[in-house]
Every structure is written in structure tokens, then in C-alpha cells.
């Protein structure tokens, strides 16, 4: 799991403590990784308008703070492919501007991509499933780990 937070700071700490290298080593061995919010940004191969550190594991381009500032945070119902409806909590959230290669869209909000997976190894959500009562997305990730 790569949590939400401030992606620039998390990336700097990953570099400083060489955690990024360890994550990339484990990813190459097949370890599943799920990034939420800032974690989505760090998993992306491309970040619109930014050269910040990223792991570059997913075939996606993300836009940071795409829904606005902290005061623009919101909750909404989402329809996730294969899971049905769940609640999404968006806090200064990014979104996916583009995906290619192995990345596959699992959920959109108003035609904006907010959840993707790649190769049943990587999962990225722009929202925070951990802040809701539902554990459906968590179970989905655990199922990915079993395959």
C-alpha cells in the first residue's frame, strides 16, 4: 500500500531512505501494489506538469490536485467495474488524464478516470476507500494478490 498524503514529500522520503528502490525491486518480483491518492501519483509513469519523483510502474498520466483545493474535497457514489456501487472520498485528489498499455480503467466519475489497474499487479485509486464503511475495494485488492 502506498497511502494518500503529499506525493512530493512521500517521493522525497522514498528517495532519501531508498524505499523507492526496495519497492521497485519487490515490484519486479511480482509484489502487488495499491496506491491511493498520492499513491496513485507515485505509481504513475507520467505526472502532468511535474518532474517529481515517481515509481513509474503504471501506464498512466495523472494530474495532481485535479479536483481542486482541500476545501473542494467531497464524497460521492461510484460505480466500479466488477464491484458495483461504493462510496468514494476525494481529498485534494488527482485523476488519470490518460492510460495506455496494460492499464485498464475500472471506475470513472463524470467521465474522469479515478480507478485503474494494471496486470492484476497494480491498483490505483484517486479516492480513499479506507475512509468509508465498505471494504469492497480492499477485498478486490486482496483477490488480486491471490491470482
Active-site residue list? 37, 128, 130
Q: Which of 71, 75, 147, 77 is nearest to 107 (CA)?
A: 77
Cβ neighbours of 72 (radius 10 Å): 12
Do 75 and 18 form a contact (C-beta atoms < 8 A)?
Answer: no
Running DSSP on this structure, what letter comes out for residue 7?
H
Helices (H) and strands (E) in the chain, counts: 4, 9
Length of the chain: 147
> 109 - beta bridge partners?
112
Please, what's the b/e burial string for 86-95 (b: 16 or more CB within 10 A of its CB; e: otherwise)?
Answer: bbbbbbbbbb
Amino acid at each position: 500500500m502506498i497511502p494518500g498524503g503529499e506525493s512530493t514529500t512521500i517521493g522525497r522520503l522514498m528517495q532519501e531512505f531508498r524505499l523507492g528502490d526496495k519497492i521497485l525491486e519487490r515490484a519486479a518480483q511480482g509484489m502487488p501494489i495499491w496506491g491511493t491518492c498520492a499513491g496513485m501519483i507515485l505509481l504513475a509513469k507520467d505526472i502532468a506538469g511535474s518532474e517529481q519523483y515517481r515509481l513509474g510502474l503504471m501506464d498512466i498520466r495523472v494530474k495532481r490536485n485535479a479536483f481542486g483545493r482541500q476545501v473542494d474535497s467531497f464524497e460521492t457514489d461510484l460505480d466500479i467495474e466488477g464491484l458495483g456501487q461504493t462510496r468514494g472520498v476525494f481529498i485534494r485528489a488527482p485523476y488519470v488524464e490518460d492510460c495506455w498499455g496494460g492499464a485498464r480503467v475500472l471506475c470513472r466519475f463524470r467521465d474522469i478516470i479515478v480507478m485503474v489497474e494494471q496486470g492484476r499487479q497494480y491498483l490505483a485509486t484517486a479516492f480513499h476507500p479506507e475512509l468509508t464503511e465498505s471494504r469492497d475495494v480492499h477485498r478486490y485488492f486482496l483477490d488480486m494478490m491471490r491470482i
